[in-house]
Each structure stands twice: as structure tokens, then as C-alpha cells.
Structure 1
Amino acid sequence: MVITSLLSAAARRCSRSASAIVRREVTGFHDLTIDGCAASRKSSKLRSVASPTFEAAGHRWRIWFYPRGRLWARPGAMSVYLELANGDSGAADRLDEDDDDDPVEIRFSLLDQDGNPLPKHTRSKSDYFFNVWPMCKGGFANFVKWKDVEESGCLKDDRITIRCDIMLSRNYSEDVVDDDDDCAAAAAPARVVVPPSDLHEHLGGLLRREHGTTDVTIDAGGGATYGAHGSLLAVRSPVFAAELAAATKKSGSGGIRGPTIIKVEGIEPRMMKAMLHFIYTDTLPPEMAAEQEEEVAMARSLLAAAARYKLDRLKLVCEEKLCERIGVDTVAGNLALARQHGCQVLAAVCMEFIARPGNLKAVTETHEFHKIKASSPGLFIDLLMKKLA
């Protein structure tokens, strides 16, 4: 009886506590002045300029300005993007733990001569996550056209100002009160936290054979084989879809069948592996962030593979990488590749680089140019015409 009474008393007694999670919206803005607009408009397409890092809304950021737009921009449009730059001070380029479950709202505005945002030329995005992958940027490929800038009256003394507003929510300190009086415990309301999508990680796990079984074996030659899932290959690439359909028809429907084997010739095994990584995750493999010379070689090979298998987005990603790696030693090879696979933006960027004073002579003296000269005489003629123009 005594023991029962003690247990009953303990059951009636509870520890009461109360806490407050204070959530506040943190905002900040940065004004970026573009001085020398006339010269900016003559720069190469995809050429970008980064602002110095600045602090706003409790984090460090930088703005990327593309005077003639990124790869997806319409003709005559400028592009602006915001990038998290916390890593410049030694930390990883990620939001704080308290912030990384919530989207960031960003807004870019063209300012009039009095420093006021023009609603007509204001673009905003309210659900951007900067923690999805390293160095990701949020912004607008078609922010505003130069023609509209001129008509707006914002252009003065060959300069314009663009404002970037940043808004996010943060958790602040908790106040906790403990009370051991007898009480009826009250449950705090639950907060649902929806993390960024990690579908690409799960699909990447499928590629690494961490889950399930594969029904396709890709033979890349040299003893290199890769397991894959036919349904995913078919959805992503019409070429793979046709090859799988042909292989299935050839094998017939009788008996127990093993994995469908697809032989791939003319693509290096490591490029096949990189292409499969993109098919499953929609991202480039980590090894693409190599030294510039190696990165260019990989981007070229991967672009050719993407064109062959009609992976249009991968082709554009590689084209953009090559546009950002134009130099005397690479422009001839990039131009030949652009002509071969119909990469119009890359071809235009290459020809624009060659047309600059002194560049044509330097390009024609490179080892790469002489290698291409024999196999692509049309390219050689184009360069000569450029010189005579």
C-alpha cells in the first residue's frame, strides 16, 4: 500500500517548463552600381563580373552581373544572380543551422535616378534555398533588357544602380522557465520542417547500387561496365529508349532473361560514368571541378556524349562551362566542337574572342589550332575571313 501511494504521488507530480522560440524576419539590401554601361554591353556573352562580398541579413553575399546575359537569357537582356559567400571567411558556403530549413526571398530592382526601385523592373523570388548544392546562385537570367534600361531614364553618366533585397527568417534565443509544481503537462505545438529535396541523392544511391537491382548493363569497353535502370534511362534519353526497345525486341519474351546489355563505343568509360551520374542526379560529378585544363577536356567529351544521347540540358551545362573557359589555347578546339554539335552561343563567344586585337595571331600559333586545321578546313577559312574583315 505504501509503495502504491508513492508511485501514485510520483505519477501526479510533473515538471513544468515553458520556452519561447522567437522567430523574426531579417532583411537587408545592397546597391550595386554598374559604371561603364556602354563598355559592358560590348563584353562577351556569358562574361560575368562579381561584386565584392557584402553583409546583409546576417550573412555574407556577392552579386554576379552578366552584362549580356547567361546562357538562357534572351538577346539584349542582362542577368543578375545572388550567391552565398560565407565561405570567404573560412566557413562553408551554407546558411546557419537555424536558417537552412527556410527559403530565402530575394528581390532585384532597377533604381531610378532618385534611388527608388522601379516596380516595372523589379523581379522577386520567394522560395529559394541556398543550401541545395555548393555555390548555387539565385537570380534572373532575363532581369531587364538594355533597351528598357535606356527607355526607363535610369541610365545617367553611363551608369545604373541595381538593388538586391534579401529577406529570411531566423530563430533567436529561447527563454526557459522550470517549475516542479504538480501540473498537467501541456504539449507544445509541433512545427513541420520540410527540408530541401534530396531526390537526386536517392537516385544517386540507385546508381551506386545501394538499393534494389539493375536491369541494364552498359558495356563501355575495356572491361568497364555499369549497372543502370532501363526505365530511368529511357525517360531521360530518347536514344537510350530506342536502344532498349530494340534490345528487348531482339531478345524476345520467352524464358528467364538477365540484364539487357547495351554496348557503347566511342565514349571513354569515365565519361560514360559522368553521363550516368547526370542522368540520375541532374548534376555534374564532383570530378568536373578539376584544374582548368582537365575541366575543359572533360566538358568537351561530356558535351559530345550529351549531343549523341540527346541529353539537351547536360549539353547546355557543358556549353556554359566551355564559354567560361575561353582562352588562346582553348578557343580553337571549343569553336570546332561548337560547329560540330550546333552550339551557337559557344561558337559566337569563340568568334568574338578571336576578333579581339592580337588574339587571332596568337590563336593560329597554338598547337591545338594546327591539330584542328587539317581536320576542319572550314574553321581555318572562317578564321582567315575574320582576319581580313
Structure 2
Amino acid sequence: MASKDRMEADMICQLEKFTKSFSLRIDGYSLIQHVQLPKNQLVVATFDLAGHSWILRFSQSFAACNASQRNYCRNFHITLHLSLLTQTKTLVFLEVDFSLLDHSESCWSEGNIFKLGNEAPPVLSGRSRGKIFKLEDDVSAELCISRSEFMSKFLKDGSFMLKCTVDLVKPVCVGARNKRVLVPSSDFSQSANCGHFIHLWNTGEGADVAFKVSEEIITAHKEVLAMRSPVFRAQFFGPMIDSKSDCIAIEDMKPAIFRLMLQFVYTDNVALQEELSFEMAQHLLVAADRYSLERLKLICEEKLSASLDVEMAATTLVLAEQHNCEQLKEICLDFVASREKLQAVIASDGFSHLMESCPFILKDLLAKLDSERRN
């Protein structure tokens, strides 16, 4: 019988949200400040989000004035246009939001690094919602400002700065619900250390080791880490211990991922596990494998297996192969080998990555295709 809390289905389509926030400084603006710019002419940024590459273009237009009056025109419009650089067969929904940053604020002194926790309240902003299906589509956000205000408050040494946020929602369609990674139930609550570990995680009392992740310092407790991870145990109490190290540098990992991993170490859980994004699950799986946290690996595998689509299937297959995720690998092979999805997966950018990084997986894929044909 189906659960009252969660409806069961033979097929699942999950809507997933991805967000990217960044600052953008445009230098040398004085060279073009009197020019009306068509929307597709000035490329100001490119970035990756949700498995796609995106291009951001800038345009401006002058309100109710002719060419001879532009220097004195009272209002003009600034517009950002967001469009795809890589093709997609999936409809995606976007919300683009940008704000001009007052050059008197401290964020100007930090160059292109924008600290969201210290941002100034947006004085002027533009926002737009839309959908993208093909390369020619774009979503545009616009704001209108008087030239005198723009020159006095937002332009500094021929430059101005924007804060941009892009929210993206796309459907992630998966197959039958039984094609999922099995995650064993946690027995952590039965442990005598459970309450103590959770208290240490919440308070940080008595932390005796520090990690430098990017530019952030994160503290923890050696004994807790050693009890939960054989890698940490060897690092802190093994024969190769470096007792002189006051701060351990963590390479190739984002602070948010390292914190999520530590949270699991202390609690055997990942906060808001249901809302863990596909991209974060990928990074967290790599971290879990690095520190031999097998149950965390399976949690990430379950998330990835539940969110497979044709654009990410090949990339996920490579990840599963590189980090010895047998259940996830089998599910990816089943997904790719299905008659309805094979051609779309082959056409994806991820399949090119698979061919370059793990060409030997083709043997497993051919065996799976042969099995599908026989069945």
C-alpha cells in the first residue's frame, strides 16, 4: 500500500533548482557610454550552471532622445541578456536578477570578489523570468536610471559593478522507482557517542584541529574524525603524522562541501538531504570517497541515481567509474542503454567527456546494450 506521506509512482519527474550569484565589473565603460548597443553585440561574461554553459550580454538604450542629445539624455536603460552556449533538449526556466552597486560600498575595494553576506541593499535592480529551450532563446532583465545618478553613484574611474543572481529550474526525469541506490539505515543513534558528537558539532567546544579550505578556516575534533574515517585516523594517529602542522590545507574542495562532509561525520546525516542539488551531490561524493565515508557515498549515489537525465547520465557514469560506485554505475548503464535515451545521451557533451576520460567503459556499455537487445 502506498504511503500516506509520499505518493508512489512508476515514473518520477523531479523539478530541481540551481542558483549562481556573482559580481561583474565592467571596465572602460567611458569608451561606449554614448553608444546604443544591440543586445547581441557586447559579451561581458560566460559561466557554467546546471550542466550548461551560459553567455551574458550587455546592452543599453537611450530613452526619448536623438543622437545629438545623448550627452544630455535624462534616462537610459541597462539590460542583461542570458542565453545558452550549449544545446539542451530540456526546457529550463530562469529568473535573472541584477543590481547596480554603489561605488561607495566596501565591495568595490574587493575587486571582482562579491561577499554576499556583506552586500549593500540594492539601490536599483532589474529582474526577469522566462524559459529557454534552444540556443536562440534568451532571458533579459532591464533597469532604467537617470544618467546623472548613474554617473555620480555607480560609475567610478570608468567602471561600474553589478551583482547578478541566476535561478534555474529544470525537470530531472528518471525511470522506475526501483532503479535507485540502496542506502543502509543509520545506526548512529544507537551509538553511545551520538549525543556527544552532535553536541560538539553544534558548539565546536574543544576543537583541536583546523583546516584551511580555500581561504576559510574550519575547526574540528581529531578524535571524532579519526573514529569515523580511516583516512583521518591515519592522518592524525598513524605513523606518518605531522605533529608540527597547526593548520591542514585542503586542496580541490569547496568550503561548503567540506562542511557538509564534517556535518555527516558528526551526525551521520546531511542537512536538507532532500534539497541537496545534483551538483553538490557530485562534489560531496568525491569528498566522501576521499575520506572513506561509505554511507555518505551511498547517500550521494542515491541522490544522483534519482536525478539522472540524458544530459548528465554520461558524466555521472564517469564519476561512478572513477570513484568505485558500483550501484550508481549499474543504474547509469541501464539508463544510457535504454532504447529511448541512447541517441540523446550520445549527442550530449557528457558523452564526449566519457570517451576522453574513460573509454574502457564502452565495453561495459556494449555488454549492457547486448543484454537489452536479447531481452
TM-score (norm 2): 0.45
TM-score (norm 1): 0.44
